[in-house]
Structure 1
Amino acid sequence: MINAVAVNKPGLRLEPFTYKLGSLKPDEIDIDVEYCGICRSDLHMLTNDWGITRYPFVPGHEIVGKVAAIGSTVTHLSIGQRVGVGWRSKSCQTCFQCLSGHHNRCPNGEDVIVGRHGGFANKVRCQGLWAFPLPDNLDLQSSGPLFCGGITVFSPLIQNKINSCDRVAVVGIGGLGHMALLFLKAWGCEVSAFSTNPNKSIEAKTMGANYFYDLNNIDEVKSLTNKFNLIIVTSNVELDWDLFIGTLAPEGKLHIVGAVDQINAKVFPFISQERSMGGSPTGSPSDILKMLEFCQRHGIKPIIEEFSLSSANEALDHLTKGLARYRIVLKNDL
């Protein structure tokens, strides 16, 4: 029997919940959860903002724990090994996307908290492919957020072939944005941070920003015309898109990872300077392994606040009020 916390419909508080996992499939593993991060996606799913939540609903998809059981075809993991799991829990391995190495884009895949129960529990199950061994020198307590928020902002650096001479901007210095700054500093880029909160200036520079810009100062943003090779947008609010597009260098890319509803922008600035715009969903297994090695090599770890899993409602309130600095992690005490 699995002990968890769940909600039964939108608007309710998390309450104790138990369920059975059923038989372990050959390609699956079970994990004893030690820590689980809270992502803003958990909030969207709790309230069914995206219309895909199935209740009762157990949130949590930034999981770190020990392998407790292994299916017969899983050969790369061992009982007791520490692993991490993020947004995805399964991919089919046979579609074109999987065969191309883009398992995160598998149309036949499964996500940890979509149509099944997540990591706000003492145990979670996933396909063995999506459980990633945790390097020995990575901090166990803070590693969970790497497996969703971390790979979400690391993957654009690989996709866009960013090098150490590039100028990269991060819009929104929160749970995602602060990890982007940590990565970019180690990558060697010239890093700019954008936020509507000028009080984050000192912290942003400590995390890796060479420059900090207040989004409320439109004239200052306008002065950055043709500057950035890449802009990573982690914010989920409406922005002055034309303003930011104008700060892209020729062939620059506006890369969106925040769950913004829609984008209204003029086309000509893209055409005239050969700029582009896109986004990405987390990252492939190979990119996640690269990220973990990168974090190990450079001593990168997310900045977190810890709550107990039994205090998950208080932790969610803390996040909803915008008080998290910068990622919340729940320690399993169920």
Structure 2
Amino acid sequence: MSNSTELTSFTGWAATAAGAPLERYSYDPGPLGDEEVEVAVEYCGVCHSDQSLIDNEWGISHYPFIPGHEVVGSIVRVGAQVRGLEVGQRVGIGWYKGSCMHCSSCIGGSHHLCGTVQPTIIGSHGGFADRLRSHWAWALPIPNGLDPAMAGPLFCAGSTVFNPLVEFDVKPTDRVGVVGIGGLGHLALRFLNAWGCEVTAFTSSLSKQDEARRLGAHNVVASTDSNALKSIAGTLDFLLVTANADLDWKAMLATLRGRGRLHFVGLVPGAIPVHVFDLLPQQKSLSSSPVGSPGTTATMLEFCARHQILPQVEHFPMSRVNEAIDHLRSGKARYRVVLDASK
């Protein structure tokens, strides 16, 4: 184990009740595990999932807890069994920070599907703090050429939208739609444009048309305009839903050509009323996925470094975390918020 400074307590900003402002909070992290790394937090993104857990929108929050799962920082301590990482190395940690490493999913490279995978901020404290620990396999090095001050959201939002492109073998010749231009969607547009696809952005506000094109869309369609949706029926190979809103999913399915896929990464609130007959005749599919595995996320980071893709972010000092969360709640964030732990 490294002889770097050992802290007996970690300090951060904790939610103490649903919807309440975050407060300064310290906790004892216990001994460093043999397979754990300890990271001094430098930057941490603020994700909508942080807000959902702060407000207990999912009914699973336990207080107090420290949010934050888009962490970038430098390793300050390593356990005795850590492999491939060393003190001083800059890494990122996302929605998950550990898995069993011995089940069929982990052995097969799908650590994110492990039955006992450990979310960073559910049943645990996250990265709105001075330090964070994770299993070494979930702490991924930041490639040269990626600005660490902007890279945090790649570990959640970026991994979430990149994962299905790999999982379902999206090709450069495919025509792909992205529903929603927000924290997830704006990265999906950038990824798909660099991938070589013809990209169509679906938005409820055509005032975002120029913005969507700047982010990588070749075409823009109003997601609530039934005539606009009919005009592109049978044209798309893949439709990636990043929005958290209920839409006319039957009409969205109709935009797909044969063997097309409607894929959800956004947590839409309602049920998806789809009949088998909407899928079967043209062999269409309906699917969803969480963030990617460590391997897929590492591939995404290399892709981002190669194409110089970063999220569009707004920075706040960590000391103004409540202001940052209110800004996210207002819907005005463009498109991700990142906290600077040094301020």
Q: What's the TM-score bracket when you normalise by the shorter of the two chains?
A: over 0.9
Letter in 1 for 2:330: K
Letter in 2 for 1:7: A
- Return the offset for 1:267: 2.2
CA deviations 1:30-50 (Å, max 9, x no partner) are: 100000001111111111222
Alignment pair present for 1:322 and 2:327: no
Alignment pair present for 1:300 and 2:338: no
Letter in 1 for 2:170: I
Alignment pair present for 1:149 and 2:154: no
How far apart, in 1, do the equivalents of 2:129 and 2:205 lie?
A: 35
- Return the offset for 1:11: 2.0
Letter in 1 for 2:126: G
- Return the offset for 1:265: 1.9
Q: Which residue of 1 aligns with 2:211?
A: 203
Q: Which residue of 2 aligns with 1:11?
A: 19
Alignment root-mean-square deviation, CA: 0.9
Alignment of 1:242-321 (within 5 A): 242-261=250-269, 262-321=271-330
How far apart, in 2, do the equivalents of 1:197 and 1:74 lie?
A: 48
Partner SS for 1:181 = helix
How far apart, in 2, do the equivalents of 1:253 and 1:172 lie?
A: 17
Instruction: From 97, 102, 120, give the equivalent of 2:105.
Output: 97
CA deviations 1:102-144 (Å, max 9, x no partner) are: 0000011211001010000011111111000001110111100
Give the TM-score, by structure 1 length.
Answer: 0.98
Partner SS for 2:229 = helix
Q: Contact 2:224–2:247 (CA<8 Å) still a contact in 1? A: no
Give the TM-score, by structure 2 length.
Answer: 0.96
Note the residue ranges of structure 2 that are not aligned, 5 or more in a row. 1-8
Partner SS for 2:143 = coil
Q: Which residue of 2 aligns with 1:225?
A: 233
Letter in 2 for 1:80: G
How far apart, in 1, do the equivalents of 2:221 and 2:185 lie?
A: 14
How far apart, in 1, do the equivalents of 2:246 and 2:102 lie?
A: 38
CA deviations 1:210-253 (Å, max 9, x no partner) are: 00112232201111111111100001111100000000110000
Q: Which residue of 1 aligns with 2:42?
A: 34
Instruction: From 191, 213, 226, give the equivalent of 2:199.
Output: 191
Q: Which residue of 2 aligns with 1:43?
A: 51
Alignment of 1:11-90 (within 5 A): 11-90=19-98
- Return the offset for 1:57: 1.4
Letter in 1 for 2:105: Q
Partner SS for 2:127 = coil
- Return the offset for 1:2: 1.2
- Return the offset for 1:198: 1.3
Aligned length: 334
Instruction: From 162, 179, 192, give the equivalent of 2:170.
Output: 162
Letter in 2 for 1:95: C
- Return the offset for 1:75: 2.2
Q: Which residue of 2 aligns with 1:119?
A: 127
Letter in 2 for 1:281: P
How far apart, in 1, do the equivalents of 2:330 and 2:20 lie?
A: 17
Structure 1 segments, 4+ long, off by >3 Å, are: none
- Return the offset for 1:58: 0.7
CA deviations 1:55-103 (Å, max 9, x no partner) are: 1011100000000110001121111110000000101011111111100
Instruction: From 218, 235, 238, give the equivalent of 2:243.
Output: 235
Letter in 2 for 1:161: D
Q: Which residue of 2 aligns with 1:179?
A: 187
How far apart, in 2, do the equivalents of 1:222 and 1:331 lie?
A: 45
